[in-house]
Every structure is written in structure tokens, then in C-alpha cells.
Amino acid sequence: MEKMWAGRTDGHTSAVADDFNSSIRFDSRMYRQDITGSMEHAMMLSAVGIITPLESEAIVDGLQGILDDIDSGALPIDPRAEDIHMFVEAELTRRIGDVGKKLHTSRSRNDQVALDIRLYLRDEIREIRRMVRELIDAVCTQAEATQGFIMPGYTHLQRAQPIVMAHHLLAYAMMLRRDDARLSDTAARMNYSPLGSAALAGTTYPIDRDLVARQLGFAGITENSLDGVSDRDFCAELLSALSILMMHLSRFSEEIILWSSWEFRFVQLDDAFTTGSSIMPQKKNSDMAELVRGKTGRVYGDLMALLTTLKGLPLAYNKDMQEDKESVFDAVDTVKMCLSVFAPMVRTMKFHKEEMYAAAQKGFLNATDLADYLTKKGMPFRSAYKLVGALVSKCIASGKTLESLTMEEYRAESQLFGEDVYGEISLETCVAKRISKGSTGPQSVGAQIRSVREFLQNEEV
């Protein structure tokens, strides 16, 4: 096929080379951004007198027609085209004749593609942030409902201290809130227009880069043309932010999977978000959560692929950079898919209050509070720690719990023990007495919920 770029070469490439070189399969999804950028470029060219207003109008109308026709399906994207930029330009010239050939004045595909990806990802980030907020809302709603649900808190996956489910859920709300902030930072840092960097060195035409940047809603222009065409930091940054987001979803998934097992029975997933087994009739599997956990590896892979592609590239543009898109698009699609199933899955989850409470009763979760009890009565903490450790061993040997020990058994260890000990080490007291900021105590949990609610209401996306 003869190429628009036939210049030094005769432009006749082999079919396999064409196929290998082409990016239309994956970059056609940026057609809207490509056309919008081109329209602004044409208007700027006429504003500074490089083309006439009539020429600009013909180009803009032609581009609008192409956009409408791709949108409606009337213009199918030719899979044999080299990329979306070439496809749109060729179609424009086919429609409006030679004036279409003026569009590419003072521009290169290098700055064009750098512009398109920024515009495209800017929109995608907005959508992903909206979905993250939707999930935060689901998590917070569940937290509001589970403020009185006592459960074991774990370290090393061993029962450690009693907490409430709301507190556990709010930890995820905090993670997701940071994810939102990371996405917002990424969007802000990439919001500079590279258009006008041209191939690598800028251009001899008196273009107005700031005008195009303003029209396209950028905060400004990139300041170095070499950097403008070869920077893909924003792709790496987005993939890092998405990897961390997926890591959070994956940890949450892992807990949901554990909690749904017969071993835990803390939660019950809604039937709409579970699957059965083709052989075992009793099964209810948490496939959605497992898939999210699985797809996390895939998004990490996208990040590593991009970083590896970029690491040896000399300035400025190299064709290797065409590989940026598949990684970024795959990660964006994957994250959106995961979020779209995760939020309703969390929203419809049922928590088993009794089972969680029963689990919290086993495992001596109140041992720290018993040591604190003695400390508050004057025993040094280390001595109290030792004494309680010995009591726990005795309980294990005799199949008892700390709260079922008799006053005589307590007094045998220390005269500091009084009748008030039983009230002090009940699970309810252990939770209610957590008064430090950020703790699982009711005041702190209430404050966390208010803070998350405020964030959801105030922050602009």
C-alpha cells in the first residue's frame, strides 16, 4: 500500500510490515480526541494566518462530518490504515480535497499522538475517579451499618484485639481516598499540551500553542519540544496509581473471599455476585473477588511492560513508544471492569453479626485490655503482660476464657484484681474504651465516617 509519508522511500512496504507497523487496532479508540485536537489546530492555523479562515472552516466541517460518521457507524474505521491519525487525515482529504492536506502544517504525528493520549486519559481518569467514589460510598454505607458489629481484629492472621467491622471497612475507604488523590495528581500533572512540539524541535511557523492549549482545557503547554513528544511519565504514573488501586482491591477481595468461607462466615455475598460449581451443588464461590485479585497481576504487568519499553529510549520519539497504548488501555479497561463489579458487590454484602461476635469471643482478644487493667491499677506494663500471658496459658490448658476465671483464680495471681475486672474485659468495653483518635472506638469510627462523607460531598472531580 502506498503511504502518505512516501518521501525518501517509495512508500511501498510489504504486507507483513504494514500489519506489524499498524496501531489502528488499538489507537482507533482515540478518534474523538484526535479529531478534536485537529479541529483546534486548524482554527489556530487560521487565527495566526498560516491558512485562510475559509480553509480552516472547510477542514473543521470536514472533521466534524468524520466525527459524526464514526459516531453513527456510517464510517467504519479501516483496519488497514496505519493509525488513527493517518486514517482521519486521509479521509479528510478524500472528503474535502487538497485543502485537507494543509491540516498537518507545523505538526507531526509525534506531537499529535502525545496530545491524543493526554486528552484520552484525562477523560478516562475522570471516569475512574467517579467509579472509585462510587465504591467509597458503598464501603462507607456498609461501615455506617456495621458500627456495632464486633469482630476479631487480626495481626499475622491470628486473632488479636476486638474491633468493629465498620472500622475495618473504613480502612479501605481511606486507601481508596488516597487512590482518588493519586489519580487527581496524575491528571493535573499531565494536563499540559504538547501540540506544537512538532516532530522534535518545534517549528518555523508562527503558531500559537497557548491558544490551542487553552481551547482544549489544558493548564498550559509543555516547555521543551523534545520532552513534549517523548514524555510518557503520565502513562507510567497512571499505571502506578492504577496498580496501587488494584492492590487495594485485591487485598479487599482476599478478605471477602476468606470472610465468605465456612471457616469465617462473617459475610454472605449476594447471589448476583457469586457462582456455583458445575459438580458440587452446595457451592457458592466468590468468583468476582477472585477475578479482581487475579486481574491485579495483569495491571502490574501493564506497568512493568511500559517501564521496560521506556527505559532505553533515546530522545526524542521512537516507534517503541507506540507500545504505550496497549498497556495503558488494558489497565484502564481492567480497572473499570473491576470497579464496576466491586461497588455493587460490596453494597449488597450481608454481614453476620453473630458469627463475628462468636469468633471474637475465642482467642483471648481481651488479653491486652486485661494487662491494661492491671497497669492502670499500678502494675508496670511489662509485669502485667507477663502475668496475663501466664493466665492465658492456664486458660488454654483448662479450656477456659479470661472472662470465665473465678475471682479466686484471679486473686491467686495478683491482689490488684477486683470484681470490676469482668466489666473491663468484656468485648463491648474493649471496643468502647478505645478512645484514641483513629481507633476502633465509637467516637473515632463516627469521626471517620463523617470525614469520608465530607470528602464524597466536597471534592470536585
Active site residues: 156, 277
Select 109 or 352, whichever has its Cβ closest to ligand ARG.
Answer: 109
Region of 32-40, 314-322, 331-339, 342-350 interacting with ligand ARG (CB under 6 A)? 314-322
Residue from 285, 322, 439, 451 that binds ligand ARG (CB under 6 A)? 322
Select 46 or 110, whichever has its Cβ closest to ligand ARG.
Answer: 110
Select 4 or 291, whichever has its Cβ closest to ligand ARG.
Answer: 4
DSSP SS3 for 346: helix
The β-bridge relationship of strands 267-268 and 350-351 is: antiparallel
What are the beta bridge partners of residue 151?
A: 163
Least distance in angstroms from the C-beta of 305 to ligand ARG: 15
137 binds ligand ARG (CB under 6 A): no
What does the alpha-carbon distance between residue 342 and residue 336 come to, in Å, rounded to a whole number?
10
Instruction: Please give the DSSP secondary-structure letter assigned to residue 275.
Output: B
Residue from 35, 60, 96, 113 that binds ligand ARG (CB under 6 A)? 113
Region of 33-41, 278-286, 316-324, 342-350 interacting with ligand ARG (CB under 6 A)? 316-324
Closest by alpha carbon to 392, among 372, 366, 355, 427? 366
Least distance in angstroms from the C-beta of 20 to ligand ARG: 12
38 binds ligand ARG (CB under 6 A): no
SS (H, E, C) 186-226: HHHHCCEECCCCCCCCCCCCCCCHHHHHHHCCCCEECCCHH
What are the beta bridge partners of residue 233?
A: none
What does the alpha-carbon distance between residue 354 and residue 375 come to, in Å, rounded to a whole number?
32
197 binds ligand ARG (CB under 6 A): no
- Expressed in percent and rounded to 5, the helix, strand and coil fractions of the chain are 65, 5, 30
Select 192 or 317, whichever has its Cβ closest to ligand ARG.
Answer: 317
Select 27 or 179, whichever has its Cβ closest to ligand ARG.
Answer: 27
Residue from 39, 140, 175, 321 that binds ligand ARG (CB under 6 A)? 321
CB 168 within 8 A of CB 153: yes
Chain CA centroid to CA 36, Å: 27
218 binds ligand ARG (CB under 6 A): no
DSSP SS3 for 169: helix
116 binds ligand ARG (CB under 6 A): no
Q: Which residues bind ligand ARG (CB under 6 A)?
A: 23, 27, 83, 109-110, 113, 317, 319, 321-322
